[in-house]
Structure 1
Amino acid sequence: MRIVTLEEHVSFPEMTHLLPAGTLSNTRPSAAAIQMMPKLADIAGERLDSMNESGISMQVLSVENTDVNLLDNNHAPAFASKYNDLLAEKINNYPGRFTAFAHLPMTAPAAAADELERTVKSYGFRGAMIRGLTNGEFLDAPKFAPVLAKAEKLGVPIYIHPGLPPKPVIDAYYSNIGHDTGPFDAIACWGWGWHSETAIHVLRLLVAGIFDVYPELKIIIGHMGEMLPMMWARCNRSFQPGNGGRNQRTLIDTFRQQLYITTSGFFTQPPLQIALDTIGIDNIMLSVDYPFSTNQMGIDFLNNIQLPAEQVAKIAHGNADKLLRLQAS
């Protein structure tokens, strides 16, 4: 069976080295990211071997780090363009195995919209991945309208991936725990904070009316829906049209039409069942979160899904092929 995975990461040291001196002092790369740097930098070596061994047909690659958001609007566009050029070059010889989401200079929204168009038209990239907030702002901020409008016009999705929480959030929620004064990264990021923040991000887009302004816009989120399936009924009651938000449709109607989720990093059946019962089979796509999870973990999870073969195929490749307009080689 054809298998496509969507949240698979890369990071290239040659790009990090181009950042201005002192820039990296403003961010805290996770210990996991540092440990995984050799795997993140690899395309056609261990990564491709692992795909072959596990039976993965195609990975959609995206840049792991948020370095571009450390740059101002004068420097970010050139950095992002160079990153995308390098990514396109590295996957060029493997058209049936790799494609990509664009890395966008979100500190310069108009340039980000242009870069999205350039990468889609020049390289066949399948959309963009945006990592968390940009200088503390969510995508519902009016300044990001050019990016949303361009994605809708091009017919490509935006994948909202978690990023490092803003410092005030880290200080308020994730620091000074017991006797420890520093932040506790597992709560702030992969153990909880990432997921709740991304859920908030999508709910903000809903109540701000963004999905109604751009009714053809498609948003992807990972990690089995970032807690939203569990909160599905309660959130739907809370965010009814006319309850103070700008949304013209219910959460359920909106999300089933415009929101897609991936399984990245979630490899047990109960969360999948909740997602199936809420957002539905046509909006769920397989992802691994490579290299932070192994490809084999994703395949073992897929093989354990107790659904008819045609429904498993939708999760494995059919929904992704349709949304991203992929063709099997």
Structure 2
Amino acid sequence: MKIIALEEHFVPGRVSDAWTATAAQQDFTVSLNSNQYARQLEDLEDIRIQAMDDAGIDIQVLSLPSPGVQNFEPADAISVARDFNDILKGAIKNRPDRFDGFATLPAPDPAAAAKELQRAVHELGLKGALLNGRVRERNMDHRDFDPIYEAAEALAAPLYLHPQLPPAKVRDAYYTGIGDVADIMLSMGAIGWHYETGIQLLRMVLGGVFDRYPKLQVIVGHWGEVVLFYLDRIAQLNHAGLNLERPIIDYFKQNVYYTPSGIFSPQYLSRTIEIVSVDRMMFSQDWPYQSSIKNGARAFLEQAELSVADKEAIAHGNWDRLVSGIQRGPNDETLHLQKS
């Protein structure tokens, strides 16, 4: 069974240097990536391949993790994103049997981000893009980002929504006062990242992004970033006068795919299938932040109480089907985007 993992991260040295040289990027995530995980994130050979083999993963879809380029000034974001995408293309060319990739987009300049997504798909052969959440204080439903969503829909290219730190004021209000280490962990992988990303996805739904771009497809990790399991309560917002075109749950079933991000829980697997069906599930391990015991990723799928067809769908089939529809050459829609 071929296993393709979608939330697997790569940080070239030049990007790490750009992070540490930019005051706006000085946050816990930069320190984490530039110190504790630097070797694993930069490596594309022995360390990474051995870890993939140990976990039972055949292909990693590489991407730049948080903070990405979300908080750079626009000109710097464009430069770093293009540089990363070119490096990523080279990495895939060297090992097409083991790697694929999500582009990084200069979201601080949404028009440039739309053009970079086109370049990434048409010229570099990448499989969509990964976005590290909001851009400073602009949430992901902000109309400024419509050019990105328009381009992704026209290209039929998925967008992976990845966590980043909650805003500083939120961290101060909710994630401090417990202990030095606990405060940081609480604001990141323990829960803060996941509330942050879940709220961004929910805002995209409530803000009408999927009504404006009904064919747009996004992917989220960590079993739906909390909000998926709370849809019964979130459904109250169907009566909030938002004038959405569909019931809220329909957006989660028709515009979103879900991965485990290395949280290999049979209970979460079962609950996700119950809510959105196997057809909306894909796979990820969240390398290098989530390590796996020997053959752990493969064992999780192989031991799941699912049919062989369902296991294959999660392991690679749903991903293969989704990316087979990506528009690789200019058509009427993408030509419109190029001209605009």
| Paired residues for 1:1-329 under 5 Å | 1-18=1-18, 21-23=21-23, 26-29=26-29, 32-33=32-33, 34-177=35-178, 180=179, 184-236=183-235, 238-240=236-238, 243-295=240-292, 296-325=295-324
CA shift for structure 1 position 324: 2.1
Kindly provide the amino acid, as one letter, of the partner of residue 176 in structure 1. Answer: G
- Report the AA paired with residue 114 of structure 2: A
Contact 1:113 1:150 survives alignment (8 Å): yes
- Stretch deviating more after TM superposition (13-22 or 165-174): 13-22
What residue identity is the alignment partner of 1:294? S
Give 1:149 shift.
0.4
Change (3 A) 1:49 1:93: same
Aligned residues with identical type, % of pairs: 35
C-alpha displacement of 1:183:
7.5
Aligned partners of 1:186 and 1:246: how far apart in 2? 38
Question: Is the contact made by 1:43 and 1:91 (CA closer than 8 Å) also made in structure 2?
Answer: no
Separation in structure 1 between the aligned mates of residue 322 and residue 59 of structure 2, nearest angstrom: 15
Partner of 1:306, secondary structure, is: coil
Q: CA offsets per residue over residues 189-238 of structure 1, 9 Å max, x none?
A: 111111111111111111111111101000110001111232122223x1
AA aligned opposite 1:147 = I
Q: Supply the distance in 2 between the matched residues of 1:27 and 1:65 (Cα, whole angstroms).
A: 10
In 2, distance between residues paired with 1:205 and 1:166? 18
SS of 1:75's equivalent in the other structure is helix
* CA apart distance, 1:248: 1.1
Amino acid at match of 2:209: I
Once the two structures are superposed, residues 269-319 of structure 1 have per-residue CA deviations (whole angstroms, 9 ceiling, x without a partner) of 111111011011100111101111235332232122111111111111111
TM, length-normalised to structure 2 = 0.89
Q: Is the 8 A contact 2:278 2:310 kept in 1?
A: yes
| More displaced stretch, 132-141 vs 19-28 | 19-28
CA offsets per residue over residues 128-166 of structure 1, 9 Å max, x none? 111122112211101101000000000011111110111
Letter paired with 2:111: A
Q: Could you give the per-residue CA deviations for residues 80-126 of structure 1, whole angstroms, max 9, x where no partner exists?
A: 10111111112212223211111111111111111111011111111
Aligned residue for 2:258, secondary structure, equals: strand
Q: Which has the higher helix share?
A: 2
SS at match of 1:7: strand
Q: Structure 1 residues 266 and 108 mapped into 2: Cα distance closer, same or farther (>3 Å)?
A: same
AA paired with 2:27?
T
RMSD over equivalenced CA pairs, Å:
2.1
8 A contact 1:175–1:182 mirrored in 2: no
Aligned residues: 323
Classify 1:235/1:21 alpha carbon distance in 2 versus 1 (closer, same or farther; 3 Å).
closer
| Partner Cα separation in structure 1 for residue 232 and residue 209 of structure 2 | 21
Residue type of the partner of 2:313? Answer: K
Change (3 A) 1:21 1:189: closer
Report the secondary structure of 1:159's partner residue.
strand
Q: 1:265 to 1:209 in 2, by over 3 A?
A: same
> 1:138, 1:128 → 2: CA distance?
17
Separation in structure 1 between the aligned mates of residue 38 and residue 302 of structure 2, nearest angstrom: 29
**Partner Cα separation in structure 2 for residue 288 and residue 51 of structure 1:** 10
